[in-house]
């Protein structure tokens, strides 16, 4: 426990929030200013927010506050997502008296008993956590316009979603059909990321099942490479698997038990008629489809019951696993005395690829140093070879009508050919199995018959999405390709469920629109919600014509005649929508890239005109707790409101933002929060010390700190614009601090009393810039500085480049580095200094430095050439005496940033002797002695150690005795 008495954060923060709300600070209505509409994915109220949720909302709030200070009319609203199965699942667990869940409600989330009792009803759970999350958002100081709040089960929202779906259906984007989906067999519902434990998207891959036949049975094999059928030399079965014989649509298949389950969900009629051990299949023969020969069934242990059908076709020339298994088997053929000789089984090469020999699988197995089929490197070898052959391989003459085709094309053609000849089928496999539903059941891929799908496979829609993704702003830039990738793999998506809260499908009321389909264009609804909440409109009077007019500016009078809203209110709503749309920035966590954020783009493009398409997406990574992933089982989930009680909202906001830029994982740790709290408390106490006022004349250090102020404003602003908030915070908190420390040291050494006005000016800008991050304490600081308006209403400081005095920045740097050097010499030599002598370089060196600098900036770095040109000039011909100077100077210059080089070049000659005289007071206050300064060229200088000649520009020689 912390023993020191800390500031009363809770009451301070509450005080300022009351003032914001009393002044309706965050309520935004259309006005003459430019608007900025920022939204963040609305929360799912099935538990309170924890620190991890705080990141996305805090980022969006800082963005909103920054844009407000830049003069925009910012709208930052919030809604609550009740739709879907997670809340339903939770209610069911309460009904079943799930002890873990109820204990979590009691101890972790501190839900009162009377509320827990009502939680068997899903809506009560949603309502409770809705209020809990909202209270937390208010306590965090989020600048939300709460007049626009709604839930996704509000009657007007239902009408809005019905309108969305009728629009999509009109455009042919909602289709009825039979498509594979991720599925929970227990709930009998499609599943998506929201519904799975660990929030895994249940993505899957389509395999071609090729049927190998003998007189009685079909041995099906699942493959991603149907084109390799021409290279099959044998089949593999695992001798230890107890295979099932099942009747599948009038054929008898031999498959693993797992495969039999998978097929049931793909709408196959399955009847089990018997079993057979893998061992018993070994040595039998099957016919290869499309070829008239037979191949042997052989044993291999790499064959897994849960993968594919449990039977594998062997293509040893092109599949590393097959090649290795065949080699292994040849070595131990004595184990299978009944098998015919294996020496006649030779790999059949069917693809030629540059860089590989006749048997590519052999090449790559040897390259990876693989000795047997249990080697895990076989996976990598397979991937590498597949990629090479897919993009660069060509089919050989022995592939009949497919000869000469490239693999990437032939793959689809061969697949079509075998399917048409009834020698193949389709199987879907989850990419990461097992995926578990929130109810605990293992998910499968189900072929959903005659269902409603959003047709994300539509090529024109995909094309449009790609082109907008490439045009819109996406932060950080590196995430843009991830979006394009998602658009590529997305396919038909089941958009309705049989259970859960939400909106009924308007043309088929047995279905409820699912949670990732009713949450894609709701940003438009924030405009409507204000009028619903003020009771100016209600569900009874809302119909499609209303939405057509407000959102799409429908002009057809016949359609408009159906609108039942008061015309004046209707105009206001339409104008308000037209003012705020499009969304200027959408914030969300990275986990929503493969679903919500991509659907958000797709649906806006389908429904709204181009001028209303989203302008920007900002994506952030997750939050770790003391370096560890947050999870219930780790016991390290801290509810946000608990953390606010302990640390205060501002410190939490800063601690989350300062540890990482957008995509990195942020780390929330106690030490960082404490450090930040201290920093803010110190800043607050500093603000009591400075009074507004002008100082009579500016000293060197005054010019410097005023220039630095402009540089810091400029740097911070540019970081904010790129949403590089960590960087921005570092400028505001730490760079300011180190500059202020130097400045006060300089002023105090001179015994000055007249710089309070300058510090007041610096702090005014600094507090304004910290206000989006730590809005509560910034208001307190702002008022201590004597400001009348609110900090959140003050303008963001504008960088004034013309006020940057580069010469004073160079001069102060020289003072700092020289003082540093003196301290270092004293530290290393352990001398108690009695006398300090400083030598600045001779005038010819200063001139030579200038010339070298301008040559280096022009790209000339050849030492010989530099020396030659310096000698040829009268002003610098003395270089002859010290040619080494050139090399050292070039190194001095190269050790600095390009920015510093250019600034030195621009400033030109500076009088080091004059500048260094400012050291007098500093050295006196630090070491209690004076200094002497000479130029290298002074005739009567004191130079017992012959040091002066080592002086270089910006690197004076120092003698300490
Ligand atoms: Zn389930």
**What confidence tens digit (pLDDT) does each residue in 650-676 have?**
999 999 999 999 989 899 998 999 999
CA atoms within 13 A on the CB side of 683: 28
- 686 touches 677 (CB < 8 A): no
Q: How far from the centroid of its chain's Cα atoms is residue 420's Cα? A: 44
Token reading at 377: 């490197």
103 alpha carbon – ligand 1 mean position (Å): 22
What dihedral do alpha carbons 718, 723, 724, 725 form, nearest 10°? 100
d(CA 959, CA 942): 10
What phi and psi values does residue 369 have, to the nearest 5 degrees? 65, 35
Model confidence, pTM: 0.83
d(CA 769, CA 797): 7
- 522 touches 138 (CB < 8 A): no
**Residue ranges of the chain with pLDDT lower than 50?**
1-5
d(CA 720, CA 67): 10
Query: What local confidence, expressed as pLDDT, does residue 633 receive?
Result: 66
913 three-class SS: helix
418 alpha carbon – ligand 1 mean position (Å): 36
Q: Give exposure, 267-284, as e/b (b: 16+ Cβ within 10 Å).
A: ebebeeeeeeebeebbee
SS3 string, 823-890, reads: HHHHHHHCCCCCCEEEEECCHHHHHHHHHHHHHHHCCCCCHHHHHHHHHCCHHHHHHHHCCHHHHHHH
Which residues 6+ apart lie within 8 Å of 845 measured at CB?
A: 885, 936, 951, 952, 953
112 alpha carbon – ligand 1 mean position (Å): 28
CB-CB neighbours of 572 under 10 Å: 18
Token reading at 524: 């438009």
698 three-class SS: coil
CA–CA distances in Å: residue 62 to residues 75, 143, 474, 517, 556: 13, 9, 18, 28, 42
Closest alpha carbon to 926 in 831, 819, 825, 838 = 819
438 alpha carbon – ligand 1 mean position (Å): 6
269 alpha carbon – ligand 1 mean position (Å): 24
Query: What local confidence, expressed as pLDDT, does residue 6 receive?
Result: 57
84 alpha carbon – ligand 1 mean position (Å): 12
442 alpha carbon – ligand 1 mean position (Å): 8
191 alpha carbon – ligand 1 mean position (Å): 8
Query: What local confidence, expressed as pLDDT, does residue 694 receive?
Result: 76
Which residues 6+ apart lie within 8 Å of 930 measured at CB?
A: 836, 920, 923, 924
CB-CB neighbours of 266 under 10 Å: 16
186 alpha carbon – ligand 1 mean position (Å): 5
CB-CB neighbours of 330 under 10 Å: 12
810 alpha carbon – ligand 1 mean position (Å): 67
Query: What local confidence, expressed as pLDDT, does residue 716 receive?
Result: 97
CA–CA distances in Å: residue 638 to residues 591, 634, 816: 20, 11, 45
437 alpha carbon – ligand 1 mean position (Å): 4
- 153 touches 661 (CB < 8 A): no
Rama region for 314: left / alpha / beta (φ>0; ψ in -120 to 50; rest): beta
The DSSP code sequence of 243-274 is EEEEEETTEEEEE-HHHHHHHHHTT--EEEEE
742 alpha carbon – ligand 1 mean position (Å): 63
The DSSP code sequence of 402-424 is GTT-BHHHHHHHHHHHHHHTT-E
Token reading at 133: 């999350």
- 305 touches 284 (CB < 8 A): no
Around ion ligand 1, which residues have CB less than 5 A away?
Answer: 184, 186-187, 437, 439, 441
485 alpha carbon – ligand 1 mean position (Å): 28
588 alpha carbon – ligand 1 mean position (Å): 26
Q: 542: which DSSP letter?
A: -
Q: Edge to edge, what strands does the sheet with 174-184 contain?
A: 189-190, 174-184, 444-454, 493-494
Query: What local confidence, expressed as pLDDT, does residue 199 receive?
Result: 79
Task: Assess whether the previous peptide bond of 823 is cis (omega < 30° from 0).
Answer: no
d(CA 129, CA 111): 9
- 309 touches 255 (CB < 8 A): yes
Closest alpha carbon to 851 in 893, 895, 805 = 893
201 alpha carbon – ligand 1 mean position (Å): 14
Output 406-415 pairs: Cβ under 8 A, ≥24 positions apart: 407/227, 407/351, 410/227, 411/225, 411/226, 411/227, 414/226, 414/227, 414/229, 415/208, 415/226, 415/227
- 464 touches 173 (CB < 8 A): no
Which residues 6+ apart lie within 8 Å of 716 measured at CB?
A: 728, 731, 732, 769
200 alpha carbon – ligand 1 mean position (Å): 13
188 alpha carbon – ligand 1 mean position (Å): 7
- Residue the block writes with tokens 């039977």: 311
Which residues 6+ apart lie within 8 Å of 22 measured at CB?
A: none
**What confidence tens digit (pLDDT) does each residue in 83-130 have?**
977 788 888 889 989 898 899 899 888 999 999 999 999 999 999 999
d(CA 586, CA 910): 50
CA–CA distances in Å: residue 756 to residues 369, 687, 706, 743: 73, 11, 13, 12
d(CA 622, CA 629): 9
- 135 touches 641 (CB < 8 A): yes
């Amino acid at each position: 426990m912390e023993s020191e008495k800390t500031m009363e954060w809770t009451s301070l923060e509450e005080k300022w929030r009351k003032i914001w709300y009393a002044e309706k600070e965050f309520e935004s209505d259309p006005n003459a200013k430019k608007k900025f509409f920022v939204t963040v994915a609305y929360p799912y109220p099935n538990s309170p927010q924890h620190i991890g949720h705080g990141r996305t909302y805090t980022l969006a709030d800082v963005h909103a506050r920054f844009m407000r200070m830049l003069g925009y009319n910012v709208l930052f609203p919030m809604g609550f997502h009740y739709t879907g199965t997670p809340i339903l699942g939770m209610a069911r667990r309460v009904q079943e008296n799930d002890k873990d869940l109820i204990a979590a409600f009691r101890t972790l989330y501190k839900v009162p008993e009377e509320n827990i009792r009502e939680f068997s009803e899903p809506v009560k759970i949603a309502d409770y956590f809705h209020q809990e999350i909202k209270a937390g958002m208010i306590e965090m100081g989020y600048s939300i316009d709460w007049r626009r709040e709604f839930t996704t089960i509000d009657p007007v929202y239902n009408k809005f979603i019905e309108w969305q779906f009728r629009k999509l259906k009109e455009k042919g984007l909602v289709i009825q059909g039979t498509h594979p989906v991720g599925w929970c067999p227990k709930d009998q519902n499609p599943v998506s990321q929201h519904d799975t434990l660990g929030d895994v998207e249940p993505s899957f891959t389509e395999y071609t099942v090729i049927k190998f036949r003998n007189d009685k049975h079909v041995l099906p094999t699942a493959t991603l490479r149907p084109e390799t059928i021409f290279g099959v030399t044998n089949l593999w079965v695992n001798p230890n698997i107890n295979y099932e014989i099942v009747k599948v649509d009038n054929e008898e298949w031999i498959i693993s038990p797992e495969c039999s389950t998978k097929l049931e969900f793909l709408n196959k009629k399955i009847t089990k008629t018997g079993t057979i051990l893998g061992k018993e299949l070994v040595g039998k023969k099957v016919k290869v489809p499309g070829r008239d020969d037979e191949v042997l069934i052989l044993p291999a242990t790499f064959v897994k019951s849960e993968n594919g059908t449990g039977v594998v076709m062997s293509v040893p020339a092109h599949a590393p696993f097959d090649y290795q298994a065949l080699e292994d088997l040849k070595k131990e053929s004595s184990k299978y005395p009944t098998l015919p000789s294996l020496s006649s089984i030779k790999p059949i090469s069917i693809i030629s690829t540059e860089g590989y020999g006749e048997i590519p699988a052999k090449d790559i197995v040897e390259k990876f140093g693989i000795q047997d089929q249990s080697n895990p490197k076989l996976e990598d070898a397979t991937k590498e070879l597949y990629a090479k052959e897919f993009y660069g391989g060509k089919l050989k003459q022995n592939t009949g009508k497919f000869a000469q085709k490239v693999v990437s094309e032939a793959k689809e053609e061969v697949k079509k050919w075998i399917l048409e000849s009834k020698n193949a089928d389709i199987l879907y496999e989850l990419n990461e199995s097992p995926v578990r539903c929130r109810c605990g059941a293992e998910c499968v891929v189900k072929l959903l018959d005659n269902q409603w799908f959003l047709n994300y496979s539509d090529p024109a829609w995909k094309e449009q999405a790609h082109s907008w993704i490439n045009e819109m702003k996406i932060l950080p830039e590196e995430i843009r390709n991830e979006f394009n990738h998602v658009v590529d793999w997305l396919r038909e998506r089941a958009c309705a469920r049989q259970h859960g809260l939400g909106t009924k499908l308007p043309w088929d009321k047995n279905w409820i629109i699912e949670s990732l389909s009713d949450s894609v264009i709701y940003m438009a609804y924030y405009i409507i919600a204000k009028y619903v909440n003020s009771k100016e409109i209600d569900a009874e009077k809302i119909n499609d014509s209303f939405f057509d007019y407000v959102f799409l500016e429908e002009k057809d009078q016949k359609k408009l005649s159906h609108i039942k809203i008061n015309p004046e209110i209707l105009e206001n709503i339409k104008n308000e929508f037209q003012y705020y749309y499009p969304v200027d920035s959408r914030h969300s966590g990275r986990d929503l890239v493969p679903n919500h954020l991509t659907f958000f783009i797709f649906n806006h493009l389908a429904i709204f005109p181009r001028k209303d398409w989203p302008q920007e997406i900002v994506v952030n990574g997750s939050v770790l707790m003391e370096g560890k992933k947050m999870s219930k089982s780790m016991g390290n989930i801290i509810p946000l409101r608990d953390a606010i009680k302990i640390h205060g909202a501002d410190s939490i906001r800063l601690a989350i933002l300062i540890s990482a830029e957008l995509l990195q994982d942020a780390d929330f740790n106690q030490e960082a929060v404490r450090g930040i709290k201290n920093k803010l408390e110190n800043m607050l106490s500093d603000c009591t010390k400075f009074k507004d006022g002008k100082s009579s004349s500016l000293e060197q250090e005054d010019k410097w700190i005023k220039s630095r102020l402009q540089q810091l404003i400029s740097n911070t602003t540019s970081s904010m614009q790129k949403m590089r908030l960590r960087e921005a915070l570092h400028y505001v908190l730490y760079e300011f601090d180190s500059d202020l420390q130097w400045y006060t040291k300089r002023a105090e050494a001179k015994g000055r009393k007249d710089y309070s006005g300058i510090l007041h000016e610096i702090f005014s800008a600094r507090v304004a810039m910290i206000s989006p991050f730590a809005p509560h304490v910034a208001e307190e600081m702002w008022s201590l500085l004597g400001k009348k308006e609110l900090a959140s209403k003050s303008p963001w400081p504008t960088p004034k480049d013309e006020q940057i005095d580069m010469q004073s920045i160079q001069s102060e740097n020289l003072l700092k580095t020289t003082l540093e050097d003196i301290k270092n010499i004293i530290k290393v030599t352990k001398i108690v200094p009695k006398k300090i002598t400083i030598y600045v370089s001779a005038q010819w060196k200063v001139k030579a430095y200038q010339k070298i600098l301008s040559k280096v900036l022009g790209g000339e770095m050849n030492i010989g050439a530099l020396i030659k040109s310096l000698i040829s000039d009268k002003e610098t011909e003395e270089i002859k005496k010290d040619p080494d100077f050139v090399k050292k100077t070039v190194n001095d210059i190269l050790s600095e940033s390009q920015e510093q080089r250019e600034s030195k070049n621009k400033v030109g000659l500076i009088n080091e002797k004059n500048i260094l005289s400012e050291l007098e007071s500093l050295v006196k206050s630090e070491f209690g002695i004076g200094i002497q300064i000479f130029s290298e060229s002074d005739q009567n200088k004191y130079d017992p150690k012959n040091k002066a000649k080592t002086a270089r520009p910006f690197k004076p020689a120092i003698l300490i005795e």
